A and B are shown apart, each in its own frame.
Chain A
Amino acid sequence: MKIVSLDPRVTRENIDAETLEGELQPLDHFETYEVFEQRKRGTHHVHVGNVHAPSHELAMVFAKEQYTRRGQCVNLWVVRTSDIFVTEYMDSDIFETTATKKYREPDAYKVIDRINAFKAREAAKNA
Protein backbone atom coordinates (compact mmCIF):
# COMPACT_ATOMS: atom_id res chain seq x y z
CA MET A 1 0.00 0.00 0.00
CA LYS A 2 1.33 3.43 -0.93
CA ILE A 3 1.00 6.38 1.42
CA VAL A 4 -1.57 8.94 0.26
CA SER A 5 -1.24 12.19 2.16
CA LEU A 6 -2.82 15.62 2.45
CA ASP A 7 0.68 16.82 1.71
CA PRO A 8 1.22 16.50 -2.05
CA ARG A 9 4.99 16.23 -1.51
CA VAL A 10 4.50 13.10 0.57
CA THR A 11 2.12 11.51 -1.93
CA ARG A 12 4.59 12.18 -4.76
CA GLU A 13 7.27 10.22 -2.87
CA ASN A 14 5.24 7.07 -3.50
CA ILE A 15 6.27 5.53 -0.18
CA ASP A 16 5.38 1.99 0.79
CA ALA A 17 3.50 1.93 4.08
CA GLU A 18 5.05 -1.25 5.42
CA THR A 19 8.54 -2.20 4.25
CA LEU A 20 11.42 -1.84 6.64
CA GLU A 21 14.83 -1.71 5.04
CA GLY A 22 17.98 -2.43 7.07
CA GLU A 23 18.32 -1.09 10.58
CA LEU A 24 20.84 1.58 11.51
CA GLN A 25 24.13 0.23 12.81
CA PRO A 26 26.20 1.72 15.64
CA LEU A 27 27.99 4.91 14.51
CA ASP A 28 25.80 5.31 11.39
CA HIS A 29 24.88 8.66 12.90
CA PHE A 30 28.54 9.40 13.62
CA GLU A 31 30.46 10.08 16.81
CA THR A 32 29.82 13.15 18.95
CA TYR A 33 31.59 16.48 19.30
CA GLU A 34 31.21 18.70 22.34
CA VAL A 35 30.38 22.33 21.62
CA PHE A 36 31.67 25.39 23.47
CA GLU A 37 30.22 28.81 22.82
CA GLN A 38 31.54 32.27 23.61
CA ARG A 39 28.66 34.71 23.74
CA LYS A 40 30.70 37.90 24.03
CA ARG A 41 34.33 38.85 23.60
CA GLY A 42 36.01 38.86 26.95
CA THR A 43 33.89 36.07 28.44
CA HIS A 44 34.72 32.38 28.80
CA HIS A 45 33.69 29.75 26.30
CA VAL A 46 30.94 27.70 27.89
CA HIS A 47 29.93 24.12 27.13
CA VAL A 48 26.47 24.08 25.57
CA GLY A 49 25.97 20.50 24.39
CA ASN A 50 27.07 18.20 21.60
CA VAL A 51 26.43 17.34 17.96
CA HIS A 52 26.80 14.16 15.93
CA ALA A 53 29.15 14.68 13.01
CA PRO A 54 31.67 12.86 10.82
CA SER A 55 34.35 15.58 10.99
CA HIS A 56 35.36 18.76 12.79
CA GLU A 57 34.21 20.83 9.82
CA LEU A 58 30.69 19.42 9.79
CA ALA A 59 30.55 19.46 13.58
CA MET A 60 31.13 23.21 13.31
CA VAL A 61 28.31 23.58 10.77
CA PHE A 62 25.88 21.59 12.94
CA ALA A 63 26.99 23.39 16.11
CA LYS A 64 26.26 26.74 14.51
CA GLU A 65 22.80 25.55 13.38
CA GLN A 66 21.99 23.94 16.70
CA TYR A 67 23.39 26.24 19.35
CA THR A 68 23.52 29.76 17.94
CA ARG A 69 19.90 30.07 16.79
CA ARG A 70 19.08 32.85 19.23
CA GLY A 71 21.01 35.58 20.98
CA GLN A 72 24.58 36.35 20.21
CA CYS A 73 27.69 34.29 19.79
CA VAL A 74 31.14 35.44 18.71
CA ASN A 75 33.12 32.19 18.72
CA LEU A 76 32.60 28.44 18.74
CA TRP A 77 34.83 25.49 19.61
CA VAL A 78 34.10 21.87 18.81
CA VAL A 79 36.11 18.96 20.15
CA ARG A 80 35.64 15.21 19.81
CA THR A 81 33.94 13.83 22.89
CA SER A 82 36.40 10.95 22.91
CA ASP A 83 39.28 13.43 23.26
CA ILE A 84 37.98 14.85 26.52
CA PHE A 85 39.26 13.51 29.83
CA VAL A 86 36.87 13.85 32.73
CA THR A 87 36.80 13.32 36.46
CA GLU A 88 34.18 11.11 38.07
CA TYR A 89 31.44 12.66 40.16
CA MET A 90 31.99 9.94 42.74
CA ASP A 91 35.51 11.32 43.22
CA SER A 92 34.38 14.90 43.68
CA ASP A 93 35.74 14.89 47.24
CA ILE A 94 39.15 15.59 45.69
CA PHE A 95 37.95 19.16 45.16
CA GLU A 96 37.03 19.76 48.76
CA THR A 97 39.16 22.43 50.40
CA THR A 98 40.35 21.30 53.78
CA ALA A 99 40.59 23.59 56.77
CA THR A 100 44.38 23.30 56.63
CA LYS A 101 44.42 25.19 53.32
CA LYS A 102 42.70 28.19 54.78
CA TYR A 103 45.84 30.23 54.05
CA ARG A 104 44.81 30.23 50.39
CA GLU A 105 41.59 32.15 51.06
CA PRO A 106 41.51 35.96 51.26
CA ASP A 107 39.36 35.83 54.38
CA ALA A 108 42.14 34.00 56.22
CA TYR A 109 43.93 37.34 56.49
CA LYS A 110 42.44 39.77 58.99
CA VAL A 111 44.69 42.69 59.88
CA ILE A 112 42.29 45.36 61.05
CA ASP A 113 42.39 44.37 64.75
CA ARG A 114 46.15 44.44 64.73
CA ILE A 115 46.20 47.83 62.97
CA ASN A 116 43.71 49.28 65.42
CA ALA A 117 45.64 47.96 68.38
CA PHE A 118 48.81 49.44 66.92
CA LYS A 119 47.15 52.81 66.42
CA ALA A 120 45.80 52.78 69.97
CA ARG A 121 49.26 52.00 71.35
CA GLU A 122 50.86 54.77 69.30
CA ALA A 123 48.20 57.22 70.37
CA ALA A 124 48.78 56.30 74.05
CA LYS A 125 52.52 56.72 73.60
CA ASN A 126 52.12 60.20 72.10
CA ALA A 127 49.49 61.37 74.55
Chain B
Amino acid sequence: MYGNAYVENPAATNSLTANEDPIKLAEFEARIAAGEKIEPNDWMPEQYKKQLIRMIEQHAHSEIIGALPEGTWITRAPGFRRKLALMAKVQDEIGHGQLLYSAAETLGKSREDMTNDLISGKSKYSNVFNYPAKTWADSAVIAWLIDAGAIVNQLANSKGSYGPYCRALERICAEESFHLKYGHDNVVFLATGTPKQREMVQDALSRWWEPIMHFFGPPDKMSVHTEVLMRWKVKMGTNDDMRQTFLDMYVPKIWDLGLTLPDPNLKKNEETGKWEYTEPNWEVFKQVINGNGPCNKERLAVRRKAEEKGRWVRNAILRKDAKYVTPLA
Protein backbone atom coordinates (compact mmCIF):
# COMPACT_ATOMS: atom_id res chain seq x y z
CA MET B 1 0.00 0.00 0.00
CA TYR B 2 1.93 2.95 -1.19
CA GLY B 3 1.09 6.28 -2.78
CA ASN B 4 3.14 8.80 -4.65
CA ALA B 5 3.70 10.93 -1.59
CA TYR B 6 7.40 10.64 -1.16
CA VAL B 7 9.57 13.65 -0.54
CA GLU B 8 12.01 14.68 -3.22
CA ASN B 9 15.58 15.02 -2.15
CA PRO B 10 16.25 18.77 -2.47
CA ALA B 11 19.98 18.18 -3.08
CA ALA B 12 19.23 16.39 -6.34
CA THR B 13 17.85 19.41 -8.14
CA ASN B 14 20.70 19.62 -10.67
CA SER B 15 20.42 17.76 -13.88
CA LEU B 16 19.95 14.07 -13.20
CA THR B 17 22.24 13.09 -16.02
CA ALA B 18 25.09 15.58 -15.61
CA ASN B 19 27.92 13.07 -15.13
CA GLU B 20 26.71 10.25 -17.29
CA ASP B 21 28.41 8.79 -20.36
CA PRO B 22 26.26 10.16 -23.21
CA ILE B 23 26.56 7.03 -25.38
CA LYS B 24 25.58 4.62 -22.62
CA LEU B 25 22.82 6.99 -21.55
CA ALA B 26 21.42 7.08 -25.09
CA GLU B 27 21.45 3.26 -25.29
CA PHE B 28 19.78 3.04 -21.90
CA GLU B 29 17.05 5.49 -22.87
CA ALA B 30 16.50 3.78 -26.22
CA ARG B 31 16.00 0.47 -24.43
CA ILE B 32 13.35 1.99 -22.18
CA ALA B 33 11.66 3.83 -25.04
CA ALA B 34 11.43 0.49 -26.87
CA GLY B 35 9.52 -0.93 -23.89
CA GLU B 36 12.33 -3.20 -22.72
CA LYS B 37 12.94 -3.73 -19.01
CA ILE B 38 16.13 -2.84 -17.20
CA GLU B 39 17.62 -5.71 -15.17
CA PRO B 40 19.84 -5.51 -12.06
CA ASN B 41 23.32 -5.64 -13.57
CA ASP B 42 22.58 -3.48 -16.60
CA TRP B 43 24.33 -0.16 -16.91
CA MET B 44 22.06 2.54 -15.49
CA PRO B 45 22.44 6.22 -14.64
CA GLU B 46 23.41 6.85 -11.01
CA GLN B 47 20.26 8.89 -10.45
CA TYR B 48 18.03 6.18 -11.91
CA LYS B 49 19.43 3.75 -9.38
CA LYS B 50 19.18 6.24 -6.51
CA GLN B 51 15.63 7.27 -7.23
CA LEU B 52 14.52 3.66 -7.63
CA ILE B 53 16.16 2.52 -4.40
CA ARG B 54 14.48 5.36 -2.53
CA MET B 55 11.11 4.71 -4.10
CA ILE B 56 11.08 0.92 -3.74
CA GLU B 57 12.48 1.13 -0.23
CA GLN B 58 9.78 3.59 0.83
CA HIS B 59 7.20 1.35 -0.76
CA ALA B 60 8.54 -1.65 1.20
CA HIS B 61 8.51 0.29 4.48
CA SER B 62 4.93 1.38 3.74
CA GLU B 63 3.81 -2.23 3.49
CA ILE B 64 5.40 -3.11 6.81
CA ILE B 65 4.29 0.00 8.72
CA GLY B 66 0.90 -0.08 6.97
CA ALA B 67 0.19 -3.42 8.60
CA LEU B 68 0.32 -1.78 12.04
CA PRO B 69 -2.83 0.40 12.04
CA GLU B 70 -4.83 -2.49 10.57
CA GLY B 71 -3.20 -5.13 12.74
CA THR B 72 -4.50 -3.19 15.73
CA TRP B 73 -7.98 -4.45 14.94
CA ILE B 74 -7.27 -8.15 14.53
CA THR B 75 -7.89 -8.94 18.19
CA ARG B 76 -11.13 -6.95 18.18
CA ALA B 77 -12.52 -7.82 14.75
CA PRO B 78 -16.30 -8.33 14.81
CA GLY B 79 -16.64 -12.04 14.19
CA PHE B 80 -14.46 -14.95 13.18
CA ARG B 81 -14.74 -14.50 9.41
CA ARG B 82 -13.69 -10.85 9.59
CA LYS B 83 -10.82 -11.78 11.87
CA LEU B 84 -9.53 -14.44 9.48
CA ALA B 85 -9.80 -12.11 6.51
CA LEU B 86 -8.01 -9.28 8.29
CA MET B 87 -5.23 -11.61 9.40
CA ALA B 88 -4.79 -12.80 5.82
CA LYS B 89 -4.68 -9.22 4.58
CA VAL B 90 -2.11 -8.13 7.15
CA GLN B 91 0.03 -11.19 6.33
CA ASP B 92 -0.19 -10.27 2.64
CA GLU B 93 1.08 -6.77 3.41
CA ILE B 94 4.09 -8.10 5.29
CA GLY B 95 4.79 -10.42 2.35
CA HIS B 96 4.60 -7.45 -0.02
CA GLY B 97 7.18 -5.71 2.12
CA GLN B 98 9.51 -8.70 1.69
CA LEU B 99 9.02 -8.75 -2.09
CA LEU B 100 9.79 -5.05 -2.33
CA TYR B 101 12.82 -5.18 -0.07
CA SER B 102 14.17 -7.89 -2.38
CA ALA B 103 13.57 -5.70 -5.44
CA ALA B 104 15.40 -2.78 -3.80
CA GLU B 105 18.24 -5.09 -2.75
CA THR B 106 18.97 -5.97 -6.37
CA LEU B 107 20.07 -2.34 -6.70
CA GLY B 108 22.70 -2.75 -4.01
CA LYS B 109 21.17 -1.60 -0.71
CA SER B 110 21.06 -4.38 1.88
CA ARG B 111 17.95 -5.23 3.85
CA GLU B 112 19.79 -4.49 7.08
CA ASP B 113 20.61 -0.96 5.87
CA MET B 114 17.03 -0.38 4.83
CA THR B 115 15.73 -1.55 8.20
CA ASN B 116 18.26 0.63 10.02
CA ASP B 117 17.19 3.64 7.99
CA LEU B 118 13.52 2.98 8.69
CA ILE B 119 14.03 2.65 12.43
CA SER B 120 16.27 5.70 12.69
CA GLY B 121 13.69 7.77 10.81
CA LYS B 122 16.03 8.45 7.88
CA SER B 123 13.81 6.65 5.37
CA LYS B 124 10.16 7.56 4.93
CA TYR B 125 7.02 5.56 4.36
CA SER B 126 3.52 6.47 3.26
CA ASN B 127 2.22 9.30 5.34
CA VAL B 128 -1.24 7.82 5.85
CA PHE B 129 0.12 5.27 8.28
CA ASN B 130 0.97 7.97 10.78
CA TYR B 131 -2.73 8.30 11.57
CA PRO B 132 -4.55 6.17 14.14
CA ALA B 133 -7.22 3.59 13.29
CA LYS B 134 -9.67 4.64 15.98
CA THR B 135 -12.56 2.28 15.30
CA TRP B 136 -13.29 -0.88 13.35
CA ALA B 137 -14.72 1.36 10.65
CA ASP B 138 -11.27 2.90 10.21
CA SER B 139 -9.86 -0.49 9.33
CA ALA B 140 -12.67 -0.89 6.78
CA VAL B 141 -11.97 2.51 5.21
CA ILE B 142 -8.23 1.76 5.09
CA ALA B 143 -8.77 -1.64 3.49
CA TRP B 144 -11.05 -0.20 0.86
CA LEU B 145 -9.78 3.26 0.01
CA ILE B 146 -6.10 3.26 0.95
CA ASP B 147 -5.70 -0.04 -0.84
CA ALA B 148 -7.64 1.38 -3.79
CA GLY B 149 -5.26 4.33 -3.94
CA ALA B 150 -2.29 2.01 -3.67
CA ILE B 151 -3.59 -0.17 -6.49
CA VAL B 152 -3.99 2.86 -8.78
CA ASN B 153 -0.39 3.72 -8.08
CA GLN B 154 0.98 0.18 -8.20
CA LEU B 155 -0.77 -0.76 -11.44
CA ALA B 156 0.81 2.28 -13.07
CA ASN B 157 4.24 1.50 -11.62
CA SER B 158 4.06 -2.15 -12.68
CA LYS B 159 4.42 -0.84 -16.24
CA GLY B 160 7.65 0.91 -15.26
CA SER B 161 11.12 0.15 -16.54
CA TYR B 162 12.84 -1.75 -13.72
CA GLY B 163 12.26 -5.50 -14.09
CA PRO B 164 12.46 -6.63 -10.45
CA TYR B 165 10.11 -3.85 -9.27
CA CYS B 166 7.58 -4.63 -12.03
CA ARG B 167 7.60 -8.33 -11.17
CA ALA B 168 7.06 -7.63 -7.47
CA LEU B 169 4.22 -5.23 -8.25
CA GLU B 170 2.42 -7.70 -10.49
CA ARG B 171 2.38 -10.22 -7.69
CA ILE B 172 1.29 -7.55 -5.21
CA CYS B 173 -1.55 -6.24 -7.38
CA ALA B 174 -2.90 -9.77 -7.83
CA GLU B 175 -3.09 -10.26 -4.06
CA GLU B 176 -4.46 -6.80 -3.36
CA SER B 177 -7.56 -7.30 -5.45
CA PHE B 178 -8.86 -9.33 -2.50
CA HIS B 179 -8.04 -6.47 -0.10
CA LEU B 180 -10.10 -4.09 -2.14
CA LYS B 181 -13.10 -6.43 -2.27
CA TYR B 182 -12.79 -7.20 1.41
CA GLY B 183 -12.59 -3.50 2.29
CA HIS B 184 -15.54 -2.61 0.08
CA ASP B 185 -17.60 -5.42 1.60
CA ASN B 186 -16.76 -4.11 5.07
CA VAL B 187 -17.69 -0.52 4.26
CA VAL B 188 -20.91 -1.55 2.51
CA PHE B 189 -21.84 -3.72 5.49
CA LEU B 190 -21.45 -0.78 7.87
CA ALA B 191 -23.00 1.80 5.54
CA THR B 192 -26.12 -0.32 5.01
CA GLY B 193 -26.33 -1.39 8.65
CA THR B 194 -27.71 0.19 11.82
CA PRO B 195 -27.66 3.98 12.33
CA LYS B 196 -24.77 3.48 14.76
CA GLN B 197 -22.77 1.55 12.14
CA ARG B 198 -23.46 4.21 9.51
CA GLU B 199 -22.34 6.89 11.89
CA MET B 200 -19.12 4.99 12.57
CA VAL B 201 -18.21 4.56 8.92
CA GLN B 202 -19.11 8.17 8.09
CA ASP B 203 -16.92 9.39 10.93
CA ALA B 204 -13.99 7.24 9.77
CA LEU B 205 -14.39 8.38 6.17
CA SER B 206 -14.46 12.04 7.18
CA ARG B 207 -11.29 11.68 9.23
CA TRP B 208 -9.44 9.72 6.52
CA TRP B 209 -10.36 11.96 3.61
CA GLU B 210 -7.51 14.42 3.99
CA PRO B 211 -4.85 11.72 4.44
CA ILE B 212 -6.27 9.97 1.36
CA MET B 213 -5.98 13.17 -0.67
CA HIS B 214 -2.42 13.57 0.65
CA PHE B 215 -1.67 9.96 -0.31
CA PHE B 216 -0.96 10.80 -3.94
CA GLY B 217 1.52 13.52 -3.08
CA PRO B 218 1.62 17.28 -3.58
CA PRO B 219 0.35 18.84 -6.82
CA ASP B 220 2.74 18.46 -9.71
CA LYS B 221 5.25 21.02 -10.60
CA MET B 222 6.47 19.83 -13.94
CA SER B 223 10.16 20.20 -13.24
CA VAL B 224 12.87 18.84 -15.50
CA HIS B 225 13.25 16.26 -12.76
CA THR B 226 9.74 14.88 -13.21
CA GLU B 227 10.17 14.90 -16.96
CA VAL B 228 13.35 12.80 -16.82
CA LEU B 229 11.92 10.38 -14.26
CA MET B 230 8.89 9.86 -16.46
CA ARG B 231 11.08 9.33 -19.52
CA TRP B 232 12.98 6.72 -17.54
CA LYS B 233 9.67 5.17 -16.48
CA VAL B 234 10.56 5.50 -12.83
CA LYS B 235 7.51 7.67 -12.30
CA MET B 236 4.58 6.48 -14.40
CA GLY B 237 2.14 9.29 -13.89
CA THR B 238 2.04 12.64 -12.18
CA ASN B 239 0.65 12.88 -8.65
CA ASP B 240 -2.37 14.76 -9.93
CA ASP B 241 -3.04 12.12 -12.61
CA MET B 242 -3.09 9.39 -9.99
CA ARG B 243 -5.36 11.43 -7.72
CA GLN B 244 -7.76 12.08 -10.61
CA THR B 245 -7.89 8.38 -11.51
CA PHE B 246 -8.67 7.52 -7.90
CA LEU B 247 -11.39 10.17 -7.53
CA ASP B 248 -12.97 9.09 -10.77
CA MET B 249 -13.15 5.46 -9.72
CA TYR B 250 -14.13 5.79 -6.07
CA VAL B 251 -16.02 9.02 -5.31
CA PRO B 252 -19.12 7.77 -7.17
CA LYS B 253 -18.95 4.50 -5.24
CA ILE B 254 -18.75 6.41 -1.95
CA TRP B 255 -21.65 8.68 -2.86
CA ASP B 256 -23.66 5.61 -3.93
CA LEU B 257 -23.74 4.54 -0.31
CA GLY B 258 -25.18 7.89 0.75
CA LEU B 259 -21.94 8.77 2.53
CA THR B 260 -20.56 12.28 2.34
CA LEU B 261 -17.03 13.58 1.92
CA PRO B 262 -15.84 16.59 3.90
CA ASP B 263 -15.18 18.79 0.87
CA PRO B 264 -18.07 20.97 -0.38
CA ASN B 265 -16.12 21.78 -3.57
CA LEU B 266 -15.64 18.18 -4.64
CA LYS B 267 -17.33 17.64 -7.99
CA LYS B 268 -16.57 16.41 -11.46
CA ASN B 269 -16.34 19.13 -14.07
CA GLU B 270 -18.29 17.53 -16.89
CA GLU B 271 -16.64 19.76 -19.49
CA THR B 272 -13.04 18.95 -18.64
CA GLY B 273 -13.77 15.48 -17.25
CA LYS B 274 -11.57 16.40 -14.28
CA TRP B 275 -12.46 16.41 -10.61
CA GLU B 276 -12.37 19.71 -8.76
CA TYR B 277 -11.61 19.77 -5.07
CA THR B 278 -10.26 21.87 -2.25
CA GLU B 279 -6.51 21.35 -1.95
CA PRO B 280 -5.83 19.43 1.24
CA ASN B 281 -3.63 21.21 3.73
CA TRP B 282 -0.10 20.52 2.47
CA GLU B 283 1.44 22.17 5.52
CA VAL B 284 -0.11 19.41 7.65
CA PHE B 285 1.25 16.85 5.20
CA LYS B 286 4.77 18.25 5.59
CA GLN B 287 4.49 18.29 9.34
CA VAL B 288 3.33 14.68 9.50
CA ILE B 289 5.90 13.36 7.06
CA ASN B 290 8.64 15.06 9.06
CA GLY B 291 7.75 13.15 12.19
CA ASN B 292 5.03 15.21 13.84
CA GLY B 293 1.96 13.17 12.99
CA PRO B 294 -0.22 11.54 15.63
CA CYS B 295 1.42 8.09 15.34
CA ASN B 296 4.93 8.52 13.87
CA LYS B 297 6.68 7.77 17.15
CA GLU B 298 4.50 4.78 17.92
CA ARG B 299 4.96 3.22 14.48
CA LEU B 300 8.75 3.39 14.61
CA ALA B 301 8.89 2.33 18.25
CA VAL B 302 6.79 -0.76 17.52
CA ARG B 303 8.96 -1.64 14.53
CA ARG B 304 12.12 -1.17 16.58
CA LYS B 305 10.75 -3.29 19.41
CA ALA B 306 9.96 -6.11 17.00
CA GLU B 307 13.53 -5.92 15.68
CA GLU B 308 14.98 -6.01 19.20
CA LYS B 309 12.76 -8.83 20.41
CA GLY B 310 13.57 -10.98 17.40
CA ARG B 311 17.28 -10.40 17.57
CA TRP B 312 18.23 -13.27 19.90
CA VAL B 313 16.31 -15.73 17.76
CA ARG B 314 18.06 -14.58 14.60
CA ASN B 315 21.44 -14.66 16.31
CA ALA B 316 20.81 -18.18 17.53
CA ILE B 317 20.25 -19.48 14.00
CA LEU B 318 22.82 -17.40 12.07
CA ARG B 319 24.96 -19.51 9.78
CA LYS B 320 28.56 -18.69 10.58
CA ASP B 321 29.93 -18.96 7.04
CA ALA B 322 26.99 -17.24 5.34
CA LYS B 323 28.08 -15.17 2.38
CA TYR B 324 26.06 -12.25 1.12
CA VAL B 325 25.51 -11.83 -2.59
CA THR B 326 23.05 -9.43 -4.13
CA PRO B 327 19.78 -11.19 -5.02
CA LEU B 328 19.68 -12.05 -8.71
CA ALA B 329 16.35 -10.73 -9.86
A residues engaging B (CB < 8 A)? 3, 5-7, 9-10, 13, 15-17, 20-21, 23-32, 34, 47, 49-52, 54-55, 58, 65-66, 69-70, 81-82, 84, 86, 88-90
On whether A24 and B319 interact (CB within 8 A), knowing A13-B305, A15-B301, A84-B328, the answer reads: no
B329 x A47 contact (CB < 8 A): yes
Contacts of A15 in B (CB 8 A): 301-302, 304-305
Per CB-CB distance, the 3 closest pairs between chain A and chain B, nearest first, are: A24-B112, A7-B72, A54-B317
In the complex, how many residue pairs between chain A and chain B have their CB atoms under 8 Å apart?
119
Q: Given known contacts A10-B302, A50-B327, is B297 in contact with A29 (CB within 8 Å)?
A: no
State A55–B322 Cα separation when bound (angstroms).
9
A79 to B302, CA, bound (A): 33
Given A49-B99, A81-B327, does the pair A17, B175 have CB atoms closer than 8 Å? no
> Does B185 sit at the interface, judged by CB under 8 A?
no
Q: Is the CB of A31 within 8 A of B314?
A: no
Complex interface: chain B residues within 8 A of A9 (CB) = 75
Q: Are A34 and B328 also in contact (CB < 8 A) when A49-B99, A89-B41 are?
A: yes
Please tell me if the beta carbons of A31 and B133 are within 8 angstroms of each other in the complex.
no
Apart from the given pairs A32-B324, A50-B102, 17 other A-B contacts in the complex at a CB distance below 8 Å: A3-B297, A6-B132, A10-B302, A23-B116, A24-B116, A26-B324, A29-B111, A29-B115, A30-B319, A32-B102, A65-B95, A81-B325, A81-B328, A88-B41, A89-B41, A89-B42, A90-B42
Q: Which residues of A contact B308 (CB under 8 A)?
A: 21
Task: Give A10's nearest chain B residue, CB to CB.
Answer: B302
Contacts A30-B318, A66-B95, A90-B43 hold; do A16 and B301 have CB atoms under 8 A apart? Answer: yes
- The yes or no answer to B274 lying at the interface (CB within 8 A) is no
Q: Which A residue's beta carbon lies closest to that of B111?
A: A29
Query: How many B residues touch A, CB cutoff 8 Å?
Result: 50
Q: What residues of chain B lie closer than 8 Å to A24, measured between beta carbons?
A: 112-113, 115-116, 307
Task: For the complex, give the distance between the alpha carbons of A26 and B41 in Å.
Answer: 21
A20 and B119 within 8 A (CB):
yes
CB pair A69–B72 under 8 Å, yes or no, is: no
Closest A residue to B296 using CB positions: A17
B298 within 8 A of A: yes
Q: Are A5 and B298 closer than 8 Å at their CB atoms?
A: yes
State A13–B298 Cα separation when bound (angstroms).
Answer: 11
Q: Scoring B residues 38 to 80 as 1 if CB is less than 8 Å from chain A, else 0, what string do you get? A: 0101110000000000000000000000000001100100000
